[in-house]
Amino acid sequence: MSDSHNKSNDKGKGPQRPDEGSSDGSKKVPRKAVESALEMNPALKAELASMDPAKAAEALTKMDISQLLTGLSVGGKNQKDMASYKFWQTQPVPSFGDNAQKKPITQGPIKMINPDEVSKTPDALIEGFEWCTLDLTNPTELQELYELLNNHYVEDDNAMFRFAYSQSFLHWALMSPGWKKEWHVGVRASKSRKLVASICGVPTHIRVRGERIKVTEINFLCIHKKLRSKRLAPVLIKEITRRCYLNGIFQAIYTGGVILPTPVSSCRYYHRSLDWLKLYEVGFSPLPHGSTKARQVAKNQLPAQTSTPGLRPMEVKDIDAVFDLLERYLLRYDMNQAFDREEIEHWLVYKEQPGKEQVVWSYVVEDPQTHKITDFVSFYNLESTVIDHPKHEAVRAAYLYYYATETAFTGDKKALKERLLVLMNDALICAKQAKFDVFNALTLQDNPLFLEQLKFGAGDGQLHFYLYNYRCAPIAGGINEKNLPDENQMGGVGVVML
């Protein structure tokens, strides 16, 4: 995955702070916009730190504002079929430079929506295409979405890896409590009836600095490669927005690897090798200069068994205890998921079903004496197809999901760090036992306390968090200005997006 295979095919690289405009004056890039982009993505600064200033300036002259603000790299790669900056200017999202005067930000909705004024019909599509609503309870339509995503969704820059969303994963991700069929939006070719684009959402609640808001989690914006030039992305975004408005939900949360107006937070991806040799063979992990394959395999070795007394897979009987523990734990973050009991059961409890593969792994620690649940940790499975490889067809990636520990409430940060190091090391062992090849985590939650110590390597991918039609002050993403995990930048993001 060249350590960039995250929620987007974009690595989010770009220029250092430039002059007011390009040297030939052909394209004026406002300094405020550039500074916003650089501040929201420390990796943008880092890329050109070692470059010759003249070359950096030359690279800038070849970029216009829409490229800069959507996070394209200096070389002009990573073009993602997202709506342009121009489109986002028409949407209720904070603009770059909105807070140039550093005034206190008034938190809340940007635009008040009157559902009676929302159009009851979708915008027209280009000729030859039509809207559809996907029925994911229908195996044929589920298979169509599966095929669209597996052939046309996110892949890395070198076209070596592509996310492979299983049908079980799609059921889990898109049919959570309260799910609405009309939020599974598709576009079909009128003649062939082929599904050529999608955008999906599920309803949930989040809290932003104590304010509980009803949101739609937007995901799976995917357009057939042959239609990337048709400007379908803005139309899809407008259509899911219309459908949400009609259902009385006026805010949304979404993520991406590119910079759009305007991230509420940015986190960095980290990867822990579980099967280093396989990752090396498929081109995901490099062989460090001066090292050997044997040394890398030994470096990433894990104990055969977990070490926490009372650690066991989570069961239905643990739902209430985990709900209580996780709720208290998540309240510690500025932006967090506000689960209800039904959502805990859906997202965290694996129930074996014929023909369905396991998507989520959750573990609890039950105190041997009191039988109280003191800790909990989970991860989910998202495989990637290895494109045209003679030996390996897929990389099995475990993604760190939600976790919690009573140790957080002692007020002792050192004790919390020690507890999480043990708990997460056990999670790595459990993932290894479940035949995963790599364990991925972002710098959100309390992850900066253990990423580097547990030999997670820095990825070159970032994930930006966005709120639609909601304004709030920036939220810490666990990284400092050098784009490294920082324990002083924690306490921000407590939402894990799939």
Residues acting as catalytic residues: 498
Angstrom distance (rounded) from CA 492 to CA 23: 39
Could you give the angle at the alpha carbon of 446 between the alpha carbons of 455 and 203, nearest 5°?
115
Q: Regarding beta strands 161-164 and 265-273, do their DSSP bridges make them parallel or antiparallel, or are they unpaired?
A: unpaired
CA distance 382 to 260: 25
Q: Which long-range contacts (CB under 8 A, 24 or more apart) does 124-128 make?
A: 125/187, 125/232, 125/235, 126/230, 126/232, 128/189, 128/190, 128/191
Interhelix angle 139-152/167-174, nearest 10 degrees: 100
Task: Check if the beta carbon of residue 111 is closer than 8 Å to that of residue 91.
Answer: no
Residue type, 254: Y
Helical packing angle, 319-330 and 341-348, nearest 10°: 100
Give me the helices (H) in 76-195, please.
85-88, 139-152, 167-174
The DSSP symbol for 362 reads: E
Identify the CA nearest to 36 among candidates 492, 497, 464.
464
Q: Return the SS3 of 141.
A: helix
Which residues fall within 8 angstroms of residue 273, CB to CB, at 6 or more apart? 279, 285, 296, 300, 437, 438, 455, 457
Partners of 377 in the beta sheet?
363, 403
- Give 73's contacts (C-beta < 8 A, 6+ positions apart): 10, 11, 13, 14, 47
State the amino acid at position 375 in one-letter form. D
CA distances from 444 to 65, 102, 390, 462 (A): 29, 25, 36, 11
3-state SS record for 168-193: HHHHHHHCCCCCCHHHEEEEEECCCC
